[in-house]
Structure 1
Amino acid sequence: MSAREPAGGTHDPGSDSGHLDPGDLLAYASRPLDREARDLVEAHVDRCADCRARLSRLTADEAELSSLWERVDRATDEPARSLLERCALRLGVPEDAARLCAAMPALRWSWWGGAAVLVMLTVAVARWSESTSAPLLFFALVPALSAIGVVAVTGQRFDPAYVWLAVSPLGGFRVVLLRAAAVQALSLVLSLAGAAGLPLPFPYTLGWLVPSLMLTAVCLALTSRLDALPAITLTLAAWGVWLVATYNADLPAGTRLLLPGTQLAMTAVAVLGVVALVVLRDGFDRFDKQGRTAAHGGPATGTRGLA
């Protein structure tokens, strides 16, 4: 154990004899230590037979000793659960699914912090710019962020934990849907918060919702057959073309995206994307050059292994 002070004193438990000070062991046995100091003692005792024997003599209650070693095993063997994983478990999500969802790069605080900053900037531009087309930046950015966040959970290129699909009992398609749903839920909260600050009437502030679902469905369908990078590139390129085609400076936010007819057209594209996703779902159960898992008896010809 490194030279620290579990009991808060000046004694260095690991510098002289390599064993814990008797006072530290006694403090641990009577449990007045804080969490950090307790973790240090447990880490040392777990690998030091001498200190383990000395601690056993200090703990007379056999049942308490068994409980103590169970806690030591959990502290040293089980990974810490994130806030998202603990919330998912409380909601009844299976443990393996909760761990797969919580391990996503797209659910890290750094990603959502950056996304929140971008959304706030677009809202600020919409509120303080003199241009009536300023809110268009928000409606262009939010669906793109939603699609990027989802595609980051569907391929090995962006997600080191994606290889877990090879051993997950849920199957690749179900895991992708679970992870995409988690990203979409957080994206929905962030987008709603940003939309509340737009200088537009209420119906128009929700103009990003259908485009977000459309880009997500299309991008997921593409990633069932393509690597994540070309899939998101094609999706965002098409989105840029759509924004240019629907631009109209005389309309709210400078775009036809908010009109009922355009919203219906995007809804139709979203439905087609969902249908394509269901039809092509087997692509998430194969382990090909993009790192997907094999659904029927091992890697396909010409593919690489999990290692």
Structure 2
Amino acid sequence: MSWHVPEEDLRAYARGELAAPALWSADAHLAACARCRGGLGAVGDVDGGWERLDAELDAPRPGMFEGLLVRAGVADHTARLLAATPVLRRSWLGAVVVVLVLSVAAAYAAPPGRSPTLFLALAPLLPLAGVALSYGPALDPTYEMAVVAPLHGFRLLMIRTVAVLAAVLGLGGLATLALPGYGLRALAWLLPALALTSTGLALTPRFGPVAGPGAVGGAWLVLLAVAEAVREGGPLAPFTVTGQGVAAGVAVAGAGLLCALRDRFDFSRGSAA
């Protein structure tokens, strides 16, 4: 044969872009020409290689935090969701540190033996606020990606909740160690924090990711104001043995309600979108 399919036509044929009548000529020629069929295979491999290279170059590079999670054994997609959590950014964590430092400073400024009331009041609100800022179309920059991802809404919420609790409770624990000699009494904020967080999450399908936790936070502040008004010395009611027992019960009830409503989070995501 003196005529063969030009390389440009072979590339277009491999991509499915070759138009008639050149397409008909190429079809007829390839059926009888082993040389051009070999060239077509080579062209297809080259084009596929360029496509794979383009995809690799265009792929987003994981950040340091995401890379550490992957090295620790976290799945790639889970690490990406954790790294995209808004409240794990420096601005939010910095704000948490500032609040904790100021509340610890207030505890040092209080008279000796006085309960660190400000710290105990503010510390339970921090994980609640963090969870509220981690889930929802108005606050999460990756919300649209999460909506279309093949991931249960409840699982996404739990992944980010665990991340928020690990960060905030860890910082709160360090701040507790810095309090001036209150011992185990300074840990009285942990159970209220879990109670507020679980209750706020349980209200999210009904009231939304901001209004639900916001209502729970407001109720906590009202409770503290009432407890302060009726206190006759000693710690505030939520930080007594009875109050801690009530907080534990609320945390368990909130977790149970949250599990019962776990299928509602996909509906709330769809309606919010």
TM-score of the superposition, structure 2-length normalised?
0.74
Q: Distance in 1 between matches of 2:97 and 2:53?
A: 39
8 Å CA contact 2:133, 2:210 repeated in 1: no
- Within the candidate set 210, 233, 240, 1:250 is matched to 233
Higher relative CO (Cα under 8 Å, sequence separation at least 6) belongs to 2
- Within the candidate set 216, 219, 241, 2:222 is matched to 241
In structure 2, the partner of 1:282 is: 263
In structure 1, the partner of 2:200 is: 219
8 Å CA contact 1:101, 1:182 repeated in 2: yes
Identity of aligned pairs, percent? 35
Q: Provide Cα deviations, 1:5-35, integer angstroms capped at 9, x if missing partner.
A: xxxxxxxxxxxxxxxxxxxxxxxxxxxxxxx
Question: How big is the shift at 1:134?
Answer: 6.4
In the alignment, does 2:213 pair up with 1:201?
no
Extract structure 1 runs of 4+ deviating beyond 4 A.
69-73, 131-134
Q: Distance in 2 between matches of 1:84 and 1:167?
A: 24
What code does the residue aligned with 2:97 have? A
Q: Distance in 1 between matches of 2:121 and 2:156?
A: 28
Q: Distance in 1 between matches of 2:261 and 2:106?
A: 40
Question: How big is the shift at 1:87?
Answer: 2.1
In structure 2, the partner of 1:40 is: none
* Range that drifts further, 241-250 or 173-182: 241-250
Q: Distance in 2 between matches of 1:201 and 1:249?
A: 20
Gaps of 5+ in 1: 1-66, 294-302
More helix by share: 2
- Within the candidate set 92, 97, 112, 1:111 is matched to 92
In structure 1, the partner of 2:78 is: 97
Q: Distance in 2 between matches of 1:237 and 1:188?
A: 21
SS of the residue corresponding to residue 200 of structure 2 reads helix
Q: Distance in 2 between matches of 1:119 and 1:134?
A: 16
Q: Distance in 2 between matches of 1:101 and 1:178?
A: 7
Q: Distance in 1 between matches of 2:112 and 2:135?
A: 38
| Higher alpha-carbon Rg | 2
Question: How big is the shift at 1:266?
Answer: 0.6
TM-score of the superposition, structure 1-length normalised?
0.67
Aligned counterparts, 1:6-25, within 5 A: none
SS of the residue corresponding to residue 65 of structure 2 reads helix
Question: How big is the shift at 1:70?
Answer: 7.8
Gaps of 5+ in 2: 1-48
Instruction: Indicate how the Cα distance of structure 1 residues 71 and 202 shifts in structure 2: closer, same or farther if over 3 A, else same.
Output: farther
The number of residue pairs the alignment matches comes to 223
What code does the residue aligned with 1:240 have? L
Instruction: Indicate how the Cα distance of structure 1 residues 142 and 83 shifts in structure 2: closer, same or farther if over 3 A, else same.
Output: farther
Question: How big is the shift at 1:96?
Answer: 1.1
